Amino acid sequence: MLTPEIIPRLRPEVRPLNAAGGSQDSFQKALPYWQNVFSDLIDVMTASAASQFGPGVEEEIKKLVQMVRELCEPDPLQRGHPKNRQGNQNRYGLERYISTLNFMRQRLLVKAA
């Protein structure tokens, strides 16, 4: 879950309101700050994945990062697979992600062989 990683990185005046303080601003006013911190965390995750998995899996890392970006986007209207956000499909449907992960698994198995 990324929310617990995002909140401490936000400026105190745009954090969600709680007993310790926070903002009473609307979600729309706070959203750009959330998106900025989210983007920074995605960059950290990308660098970490590249160093942990090593060379030869750059394409898979790129796809994984894109999936995390789509599934965790702070703006609920932009969250989910782009094709699912169009038309009548469930924007939170995971079928496309499951298919992509299965394809990536097969590809990595071939690379490892």
Q: Encode pLDDT of 83-97 as tens digits.
A: 999 878 898 899 999
Instruction: Please tell me the predicted confidence (pLDDT) of residue 23.
Output: 64
Between CA 112 and CA 92 the distance in angstroms is 32
Residue located via tokens 């401490």: 8
Record the pTM: 0.84
Between CA 62 and CA 60 the distance in angstroms is 5
Domain count, the chain: 1
Query: Cβ neighbours of residue 44 under 8 Å, at least 6 residues apart?
Result: none
Residue located via tokens 């790129």: 62
Q: How far is CA 38 from the centre of its chain?
A: 7
Asked if residue 79 lies in contact with residue 72, where contact means CB atoms within 8 angstroms, the answer is yes
Instruction: Please tell me the predicted confidence (pLDDT) of residue 103.
Output: 94
Instruction: Please tell me the predicted confidence (pLDDT) of residue 22.
Output: 63
Instruction: Please tell me the predicted confidence (pLDDT) of residue 75.
Output: 94
Low-confidence residues in the chain, pLDDT < 50: none
Instruction: For residue 30, give the H/E element and its range.
Output: helix 27-53
Q: What angle do CA 80, 56, 60 make, to 5 degrees?
A: 10
- 7's tokens: 């909140």
Instruction: Please tell me the predicted confidence (pLDDT) of residue 76.
Output: 92
- 55's tokens: 């060379």
Instruction: Please tell me the predicted confidence (pLDDT) of residue 95.
Output: 95
Range of the domain at 38: 3-112
